[in-house]
Amino acid sequence: PDPGIPSDYQADFSNAVSNLYAQGDIYGSGYMAYQLDVMPEDYNGDSFVLHFLSNGTTKGEGIAGVYTMSSTMDAPFKCLKGYADAGVSRGSVFEIVKLTEDGGYTNSYSSFIDEGTVTITENGEGGYTVELDVFDSKGLHITGTAYNAVLRN
């Protein structure tokens, strides 16, 4: 489930669509949880999924900040580390995806995000800029910036 990237990696999210979904207080922490999905528009390229706790208690509140990776989701400004559950990737994961002939996509590389920081800032256009400075479960460095993450629900 974690074949991983082969070396340190500078991600390119220039062709990505970034969607942010409020999930409520699903961890029982008292804070609003979110899932961020960043996927290339044409399903060819770099992508990632983040699960994180904001500093707010209502949708859209307290999203901007510096987040650290954690295996527990009990306080604000934490991102859930990536892990496998019954062979399925969960938590925060970086992937390089490729379009398949049948119109779907496959992962050519998939790495569990294990350490580091994610910085989320308001971009002034109703969305967020997301900067990755993280390490996967094998200690490889992944960096990159996704622009205009938009709250969808």
Give me the chain's average pLDDT, please: 90
Predicted confidence band at 67 (pLDDT cuts at 50, 70, 90)? very high
1: which residues sit within 8 A by CB, 6+ positions away? 84, 87, 88, 89, 110
* More confidently predicted of 48 and 105: 48
Q: What is the pLDDT of residue 17?
A: 93
* CA 34 and chain centroid, separation: 10
CA distance 7 to 14: 21
CA distance 29 to 37: 22
The structure tokens listed for 83 are: 């892990």
For residue 85, the SS3 value is strand
